[in-house]
A and B are shown apart, each in its own frame.
Chain A
Amino acid sequence: MITDSTPQSRTLIFDTDRPEVDCAARERFLLMLAALFVVVNHLSFIAARGHGLSDLLNMWHIVVWGGCAVAGHVVLNRRLPHRESFIFPIVMLLSGWGLTLIDRLAPPFAARQTVWLLISIGVMIGLLLTPRHLRWLSRYRYLWLVGGVGLLAATIILGRNPTGAGPRLWLGIFDAYFQPSELLKVVLVVFLGSYLADNRDLLSVSGARIGRIYLPSPRYLAPLVAMWGVSAVILIWQRDLGTATLFFIVFLGMLYVATGRTLYIGGGLLMLFVVGVIAYFAFDVVQLRVDVWFNPWPEADSRAFQIVQSLLAFSAGGVFGQGIGQGSPTYIPVVHSDFVFAAIGEEYGLLGTLVVVGCLAILTLRAFKLAAASEAHPFRALVAAGIGITFATQSLLIMAGTVKLIPLTGVTLPFLSYGGSSLLVNFMMIGLLLIVSDS
């Protein structure tokens, strides 16, 4: 329990002095469990779809997934023998589940997502093959930052939307699209990790004072705020408010982890509220989402259709769900992207959604655990914490949005939603997390 504040007991929750276990064997066992679920799940879906035996050819998605799992496991065994053994099986379970869901909800996108999974695992393996000290990341932080922000800024001029309408957040080459704001997530985590690792002591030292509140030194805080500010302005310009919110929370979280000052959290949340109020009056989309969050029922068949259908999907699923391919989640617009969690609720029921919540919670806690264990290496610790905060924030924003706890933000559910850029960047972060775990 996190009740004692003495240095010894503080880290009890992240106890790293356990007896050595065979990481590879445990990971292999967990991957086999994941494979069992993914295969049975997809076969059930094929049976439910009732397209006949020829539909078995669609198992190629799962075959590719299996190949990715094996390749990842083999490379991990060679490169990172002492890694955290829960992380890779969990994300493979979720990504395999996601493939079946996309085949179920938006069949034309399933092949594309499978290819993205292949690319993502390839990039993750590429990361695993880089030097494990990660100094190349830390050293060139401004380069990554400028590159990431530059790509994001390019969407203002060159941005496209694969659907032909809506926010133009993608850069496209031929028929392939990439969303730079997704890449900026990992860039943000790396930049903040690097900068805060170098300057956290200075940021902890107070500058000016207002009453009993000590303010941080602007000299050290300014680059951070500027970096976040530029990103946020571009995202707001592009109406990608969900990602802007995610960035802000990750920024606050990492600042808090680095400095331990609650002022950042308190002040940041206050700022978020103020900015939210301003955005409510400034942006129609924010107003819409707040209005339908507050009271969706009078407009259940118009402006609030999406959220009401989402809630109906959870109710239709009940405890055990309708079964894969047996519910009606496609009544929810863009269900395969923003509302895949509601589709899980309808077809796998409360039990299915709790498994997803559990997996994402475990992933987050493992990242925090790694951060705590890497305290001696601030950059690695902050990267692990930043990745944990990113996964947690993104998951909570979309899950809480679909169950009407907070207004909808339109971010993807990690590993489960359709979205190649998101999948790629999530696997990049998993790669970094696994590298940190092997230290």
Chain B
Amino acid sequence: MARSLNRLTAAVLILFMGVAASLMYWSVFASDDMLARRDNPRLVEAERMIQRGTIYDRTGQKLAETVIVGTSPSGKAITRRDYLQPDTLSAVGYYSLVHGTGGVEEAFDATLRGTDRLNFWGQLAENILHRPQMGSDVRLTLDLSLEQAIVAALKPYRGAVVAIDVPSGAVRAMVSAPSFDANTLDSEFDQLLKDPAAPLLNRVTQGVYQPGGALETVILGALLSDKVTLDSPTANASTPLNLNYLSLTCGLVRDSSTLALAYANACPLPFANAAVDHRNAVQQTFEAFGLLNAPTLNGFKTLAGPPPMALYAFANDPLLLQAQGAGQGALTVTPLQMALVTATIANHGNAVSLFMADATRAPDSNKWQPLDVPTQQPAVTTQEIANSIRLAMRTAATQGTAQAAARSGLTIYGHASFAYTGPQNNAVSWFIGFIDLPSGNSIAVAVVLEGVRDPAAAASVGGAALAAASEMK
């Protein structure tokens, strides 16, 4: 019996050791791979336990917050992200367990999750103590009332509006239409993806359009830098510009005998010709105004159109050069790029550096901590040229295509035009403009409306935005 027992003991010990070895495999060696599996409910649970920080607008209005809605099967607090202001969602974006993050939620994800708040040891201590992960609050530079006014003005259209404070560079509004409801994103995501109107696309930062007449402001800057004056005569300015596939006319058919009037009426021919006659200056101005690069807005995905060939590469092809000058060439732009052009004019020739949030607040604190915001304002053009463009924009807003932007009691500077964009040459209308505030700051806006060949429509939306901006607290 002793021999049998000895053998049995050995066999049982080996089997117990086999179990121990297997435990070691699953607990240590296979652990990382196992935990990364998509069907690991602990991943979702851990994510749902995170108490993301609240997002506020500049006046302290809550835009998004996390609320505890119950407990998980394992008895842990489960949270839900609530979006309280639907008019801000194209900027605020979304946070989804399934589809990730977008907009501000993506740009400030580390702050909102709290992963940038603690160092390695702090994080380790929180993990050991199993404290719920809490993120910091973020205060945006967006203004809720301005967002709401813009959404209301943009209601019938598909397009985008962006408003920037000058000279700070704070983004005061960022609206893309159509938008989406982040509260029901998970259930509607597939439908939103298939929607031809692309509601998930932030048109402000990622909508790439032909600039068309909107490029006239930049080319005007190039002409002024090449010693052309606003009162320089423009022969046959009202004559349609015939490109191979398009015939472009003025936005308003009126007296366009000077450069200022041609600009005010958004006549393409003088500016298309400028690309032929002043191509080096025009090329340099494109680069100086930042049209060839995606703008920087902390954490946001911003786009620029594919970099076009330099204008002097088309020296032997005037028609192509004219297309470039008329904004119907290879150069494409986003509304954010055009808003930066406008802000530069409003800032007397100096660029502004964009930012979207100016403070964060730790979960256990009542005090806002200011964020480092960019302050660089490199000179793009001279103050003299910028002031001349300002004058031309004022003319356009009082006599030209941007008249629809006018609001009583307000001095609005603007320019409205149209373009044809995309493979189907769909019409888009542009408005860029600004207003000086009593505080000494200015608000610069860019508006694009898709499917609309009516500069006045864009100007009207832009005027509404600037009027609302003038009433901001």
Q: Residues of A with Cβ closer than 8 Å to B?
A: 2, 5, 7, 10-11, 13-14, 48-49, 253, 256-260, 300-301, 308-309, 311-312, 314-319, 322-323, 325-331, 345, 349-350, 353-354, 357, 360-361, 364-365, 368, 371-372, 375, 378, 381, 385, 388-389, 392, 396, 399-400, 403-405
B68 close to chain A: CB less than 8 A: no
Cross-interface CB contact of A404 among B22, B24, B72, B75, cutoff 8 Å: B22
Tell me how far the C-beta of B414 lies from the nearest C-beta in chain A, rounded to whole angstroms.
57
| Listed stretches B40-48, B113-121, B236-244, B375-383; interface member | B40-48
**Residue contact B26 to A403, C-beta cutoff 8 Å:** yes
Question: In the complex, A329 Cα to B45 Cα: how many Å?
Answer: 12
Q: A330-B75, A405-B19 are in contact. Are A308 and B8 (CB under 8 A)?
A: no
| Listed stretches B31-39, B143-151, B286-294, B312-320; interface member | B31-39
Per CB-CB distance, the 8 closest pairs between chain A and chain B, nearest first, are: A315-B34, A328-B74, A314-B26, A350-B27, A2-B6, A403-B22, A315-B31, A361-B16
**Residue contact B34 to A357, C-beta cutoff 8 Å:** no
B30 close to chain A: CB less than 8 A: yes
**Residue contact B5 to A318, C-beta cutoff 8 Å:** no
Tell me how far the C-beta of B230 lies from the nearest C-beta in chain A, rounded to whole angstroms.
70
Contacts of B15 in A (CB 8 A): 392, 396, 400
**Residue contact B3 to A361, C-beta cutoff 8 Å:** no
Question: In the complex, A325 Cα to B35 Cα: how many Å?
Answer: 19
**Residue contact A11 to B2, C-beta cutoff 8 Å:** yes
**Residue contact A330 to B4, C-beta cutoff 8 Å:** no
Question: In the complex, A49 Cα to B76 Cα: how many Å?
Answer: 9
Question: In the complex, A244 Cα to B5 Cα: how many Å?
Answer: 23
Contacts of B74 in A (CB 8 A): 327-331
Question: In the complex, A166 Cα to B130 Cα: how many Å?
Answer: 37
Tell me the nearest residue of chain A to B12, going by C-beta.
A392
Question: In the complex, A329 Cα to B15 Cα: how many Å?
Answer: 25
Q: A312-B42, A328-B41 are in contact. Are A319 and B28 (CB under 8 A)?
A: yes
Question: In the complex, A259 Cα to B5 Cα: how many Å?
Answer: 11
Contacts of B12 in A (CB 8 A): 361, 364-365, 368, 388, 392, 396
Question: In the complex, A226 Cα to B32 Cα: how many Å?
Answer: 50
Tell me the nearest residue of chain B to A300, going by C-beta.
B39
Tell me how far the C-beta of B27 lies from the nearest C-beta in chain A, rounded to whole angstroms.
4
**Residue contact B27 to A318, C-beta cutoff 8 Å:** yes
A-B contact pairs, 20 of them (CB 8 A): A2-B6, A2-B9, A2-B10, A10-B2, A14-B2, A314-B27, A315-B26, A315-B34, A318-B28, A323-B130, A328-B72, A345-B27, A354-B20, A361-B16, A368-B9, A375-B1, A375-B2, A385-B1, A389-B8, A400-B22
Contacts of B407 in A (CB 8 A): none
B193 close to chain A: CB less than 8 A: no
Tell me the nearest residue of chain B to A378, going by C-beta.
B1
B228 close to chain A: CB less than 8 A: no
Q: Interface on chain B toward A: helix, strand, loop, or mixed SS?
A: helix
B18 close to chain A: CB less than 8 A: yes
**Residue contact B2 to A372, C-beta cutoff 8 Å:** yes
**Residue contact A14 to B20, C-beta cutoff 8 Å:** no
Contacts of A404 in B (CB 8 A): 22, 26
Tell me the nearest residue of chain A to B45, going by C-beta.
A328
**Residue contact A361 to B22, C-beta cutoff 8 Å:** no
Contacts of A389 in B (CB 8 A): 8
Question: In the complex, A260 Cα to B130 Cα: how many Å?
Answer: 54
Q: A14-B2, A350-B23, A368-B12 are in contact. List 19 more A-B contacts (CB 8 A).
A: A10-B2, A10-B3, A253-B8, A256-B8, A257-B4, A258-B4, A260-B4, A311-B30, A314-B26, A318-B27, A330-B74, A331-B41, A331-B73, A349-B27, A350-B24, A350-B27, A396-B12, A400-B18, A404-B26
Per-position binary interface string of chain B over residues 72-103, scored 1 when its CB falls under 8 Å from any chain A CB and 0 otherwise:
11111000000000000000000000000000
B246 close to chain A: CB less than 8 A: no
Contacts of B27 in A (CB 8 A): 314-315, 317-319, 345, 349-350, 353
Contacts of B72 in A (CB 8 A): 328
Which of B7, B18, B23, B30 has the largest count of A CB atoms less than 10 A from its CB?
B23
B13 close to chain A: CB less than 8 A: yes
Cross-interface CB contact of B16 among A258, A350, A357, cutoff 8 Å: A357
Which of A2, A260, A404 has the largest count of B CB atoms less than 10 A from its CB?
A2
Tell me how far the C-beta of B340 lies from the nearest C-beta in chain A, rounded to whole angstroms.
48
Tell me the nearest residue of chain A to B127, going by C-beta.
A322
**Residue contact B130 to A396, C-beta cutoff 8 Å:** no
**Residue contact B23 to A353, C-beta cutoff 8 Å:** yes
Cross-interface CB contact of B19 among A317, A329, A400, cutoff 8 Å: A400
Question: In the complex, A369 Cα to B232 Cα: how many Å?
Answer: 112
**Residue contact B5 to A371, C-beta cutoff 8 Å:** yes
Tell me the nearest residue of chain A to B1, going by C-beta.
A375
**Residue contact A312 to B130, C-beta cutoff 8 Å:** no
**Residue contact B8 to A368, C-beta cutoff 8 Å:** yes
Contacts of A256 in B (CB 8 A): 4, 8
Question: In the complex, A392 Cα to B40 Cα: how many Å?
Answer: 32
Tell me the nearest residue of chain A to B10, going by C-beta.
A2
Tell me how far the C-beta of A258 lies from the nearest C-beta in chain B, rounded to whole angstroms.
7
Contacts of B40 in A (CB 8 A): 312
**Residue contact A357 to B19, C-beta cutoff 8 Å:** yes
**Residue contact B5 to A357, C-beta cutoff 8 Å:** no
Which of B15, B19, B35, B72 has the largest count of A CB atoms less than 10 A from its CB?
B19
Question: In the complex, A162 Cα to B383 Cα: how many Å?
Answer: 87
Question: In the complex, A378 Cα to B2 Cα: how many Å?
Answer: 11
Tell me how far the C-beta of B88 lies from the nearest C-beta in chain A, rounded to whole angstroms.
35
